[in-house]
Amino acid sequence: RYAVQGMLIYRKAALIVVREMQKILEENLEKAEHEPVLFPVLIPEDILKKESEHIKGFETEVFWVTEAGKKVLDKKLALRPTSETPVYTMFSLWIRSHKDLPMKVHQSCAVYRYETKQTRPLIRGREFLWNEGHSAFKNLDDAEKNVEEIRKIYGDLLNDLCIPYRIHRRPEWDKFPGASYTLAYDTLIEGKILQIATIHNLSEKFSEAFNIKYEDEEGNHKFVRLTCYGPSFGRLLAFLLNIYKDESGLKFPAKFAPTQIVLVPIFAKGNKEDVLKYCREIKEKLVQFRVVLDESDKTPGEKFYYWEKRGAMLRIEAGPRDIENNEVVVVRRDTRKKEKIKKD
Amino acid sequence: RYAVQGMLIYRKAALIVVREMQKILEENLEKAEHEPVLFPVLIPEDILKKESEHIKGFETEVFWVTEAGKKVLDKKLALRPTSETPVYTMFSLWIRSHKDLPMKVHQSCAVYRYETKQTRPLIRGREFLWNEGHSAFKNLDDAEKNVEEIRKIYGDLLNDLCIPYRIHRRPEWDKFPGASYTLAYDTLIEGKILQIATIHNLSEKFSEAFNIKYEDEEGNHKFVRLTCYGPSFGRLLAFLLNIYKDESGLKFPAKFAPTQIVLVPIFAKGNKEDVLKYCREIKEKLVQFRVVLDESDKTPGEKFYYWEKRGAMLRIEAGPRDIENNEVVVVRRDTRKKEKIKKD
């Protein structure tokens, strides 16, 4: 474990799963006219504190940069706990007319919260990966339509991930600081509720605090309506790791398995090169999947065990007899069913 | 411009170019057996200061987190200026035997340097996007082979980007703090040298400071040899923006154009729907490219001007006469040559 409490190192398998979720989500957000953006990680104190309820909700959780080089900074800089305040600062410059609306942006990034409760890897961290969407609309009606659109997009992602959930409207005391209402996506992990995503329909406090106005068709200046929303990639991954496993190890939905197919060559004396060549030919036919050909010195049994633990969802074995018959042995990770199929 | 000096907001067009570079680079690094990783952005003071030359090189440039919530932290945390120190902390745990070597990791991330010279967007920023590779080897020979391998990978990326460069070995006083030697990729921008990537072959100071040892085939414990390397995505983008333009606007290499093809429908009275339908059919045939169908209310002339400025490398015009002949008019951004081609 790393030396900063509540902060994780992502290695390959976890990153593959996160990238896969991120790809699906970003594609759908961009189809729904969201512009990808990337804001700086630092937020000046005065911008973070512009909306009073919002900062009250986060002030015990913010990491502050106060020094740079050997200097004390004139103005403290926050590591973003979430990005409403910098995004709205720019919205107030980018939005002029009704023609600029709707304006929808999203970014995949890390956010920082100094959790005082006990931290738990992926579930309650001080740095976590998420995607955040921020949108501005002419009126409440358009904002409500956006909430529906995002419910569809998040629902599709969660279905793809085979994660069951319920949407709860949070009570007043538990909603996002500055929101008119908050919808939360809750699932269960070890018998406890885990919030994996939220959608907030904001009151006009933010558009007033940041002075985000547009000129409508008749030349009147009006405040925009804002929504913001985000799923936590870390928690989605935590759910998968917790649920999709059995006594032998991980058992992910095929689409998200870090290794989808493992090829295990079965060597007999003196035929190593032939078997490897045969396996490489098979690997080339499977380029659309994440395939590993395990050429290590371990025994086949050790390899089976290793790859079951890591959740390779399909194992293909090939030895001298299979080459003769132009076949391979295929074993599914989930049902453990074994069958011989033709190579082609 | 954003309220933190030296920090940028990336919007869609810039992000598309960065993602494209990143994809090419990551694919090639992963083909060369680099594992993708993602380390936390914060580095505890004692880890950052473990190698004395290294910290001397960076100490005037580090952003420090000293407060969290309403508390002053016991231990200051640095925003990573580069990630040798946390990566090597983990290498000393991950590497045990010669079988663990070579170990190669890479991450695409933002790094933070409090530049005291005047900041310039993308060229000298306080937050910049890059990819950093970190590798450990049994001996100098393997480390040198890795330097060759990375030269090939960076060379391919720069050729793809049509960026001319020369590799210079930096003099002693200008090499990376803690390196045995530094190779720098230099290009020219506005008559000045711009360093766009570096490769460092490190002396044993780092492996000694972080105690990164392996057991060789004979059971002897030896220090590993380390290399690290990175190109700056921000500076690569700065080069493209600076060079690939003419009096009408951007003129990027086709592969990196944020919009590769723009479809401009030419309406005549009463046929708007027919022309749009025709254009949508064409758009569907071009899914492998980044295509925009400009349905806005602007005149064709305004659209031509707008998309030339933004560097759409191919413009396709289609009006009623083209529909009759089952043709389209195609105009190249670079040569401005105009020709009619069949729709299919």
Residue-averaged pLDDT of chain A: 92
Distance (Å) from the alpha carbon of B77 to chain A's nearest alpha carbon: 9
Identify the residue whose tokens are 């990791």.
Answer: B105
Q: Which of A182-186, A282-286, B82-86, B334-338 has the lowest mean pLDDT?
A: B334-338
Residues of chain B contacting residue A12, judged by C-beta atoms under 8 Å apart: 35-37
Over residues A192-212, mean pLDDT: 93
CB contact under 8 A, B61 and A69: yes
pLDDT at B19 over 90: yes
Cβ-in-10-Å burial (0-12, 13-18, 19+) of B199 comes to buried
A1 band by pLDDT with thresholds 50, 70 and 90: low
Q: How far apart are CA A298 and CA A303, in angstroms?
A: 6
Q: How far apart are CA B3 and CA A78, in angstroms?
A: 13
Beta bridge partners of A63: B68
- With contact defined as beta carbons under 8 Å apart, do A13 and A310 qualify? yes
Domains B12-243 and B250-342 share a fold: no
Please provide residue A51's backbone torsions phi and psi, each rounded to the nearest 5 degrees: -105, 120
Look up residue B204 and give its two tokens.
């044993």
By C-alpha distance, the chain B residue nearest A39 is: B9
Identity at B167, one-letter amino acid code: I
Percentage, residues of chain A above pLDDT 70: 99
Identify the residue whose tokens are 């914060």.
Answer: B42
CB contact under 8 A, B68 and A62: yes
Burial B267-284 (b: 16+ CB within 10 A, else e): eeeebeeebbebbeebbe
User: Of the candidates A167, A145, A144, which has an alpha carbon nearest to the alpha carbon of residue A155?
Assistant: A167
pLDDT at A260 over 90: yes
Distance (Å) from the alpha carbon of A299 to chain B's nearest alpha carbon: 16
User: Of the candidates B262, B250, B332, B324, which has an alpha carbon nearest to the alpha carbon of residue B290?
Assistant: B262
Q: What pLDDT is stored for residue B289 in this prediction?
A: 92
Longest dimension (CA), chain A: 85
The structural domains of chain B, with segments of one domain joined by +, span 12-243, 250-342
CB contact under 8 A, A15 and B36: yes
Q: Say which CATH superfamily domain B12-243 falls into.
A: Bira Bifunctional Protein; Domain 2 (3.30.930.10)
A179 band by pLDDT with thresholds 50, 70 and 90: confident
- With contact defined as beta carbons under 8 Å apart, do B110 and B127 qualify? yes
Q: How far apart are CA B342 and CA B344, in angstroms?
A: 6
Nearest CB neighbour to B7, from listed A7, A40, A47: A40
pLDDT at B1 over 60: no
Q: What is the pLDDT of residues A107-157, one digit of tens each?
A: 999 999 998 777 788 888 899 999 999 999 999 999 999 999 999 999 999
Distance (Å) from the alpha carbon of B64 to chain A's nearest alpha carbon: 5
Q: Say which CATH superfamily domain A250-342 falls into.
A: Anticodon-binding domain (3.40.50.800)
Nearest CB neighbour to B40, from listed A7, A61, A71: A7
Residue-wise DSSP of B132-197: EEEEEESSHHHHHHHHHHHHHHHHHHHHHTT---EEEEPPGGGS-TTEEEEEEEEEEETTEEEEEE
Look up residue A198 and give its two tokens.
């939220």
Nearest CB neighbour to A116, from listed B67, B69, B89: B69
pLDDT at B34 over 60: yes
Over residues B190-216, mean pLDDT: 93
Q: What pLDDT is stored for residue B344 in this prediction?
A: 67
Nearest CB neighbour to A36, from listed B2, B7, B15: B15
Residues of chain A contacting residue B127, judged by C-beta atoms under 8 Å apart: 40-42
Over residues A232-238, mean pLDDT: 94
Q: What pLDDT is stored for residue A2 in this prediction?
A: 63
CB contact under 8 A, A59 and B66: no
Q: What is the pLDDT of residues B35-74, one digit of tens each?
A: 999 999 999 999 999 987 888 888 899 999 999 998 999 9
Q: How far apart are CA A257 and CA A75, in angstroms?
A: 45
Q: How many residues does chain A have?
A: 344
Q: What pLDDT is stored for residue B216 in this prediction?
A: 95
pLDDT at A3 over 80: no
CB contact under 8 A, B42 and A70: no
pLDDT, greater one: B58 or A212: A212
Q: What pLDDT is stored for residue B156 in this prediction?
A: 96
pLDDT at A341 over 60: yes
Distance (Å) from the alpha carbon of B238 to chain A's nearest alpha carbon: 17
Nearest CB neighbour to B42, from listed A7, A9, A68: A7
3-state secondary structure of B128: strand
pLDDT at A338 over 90: no
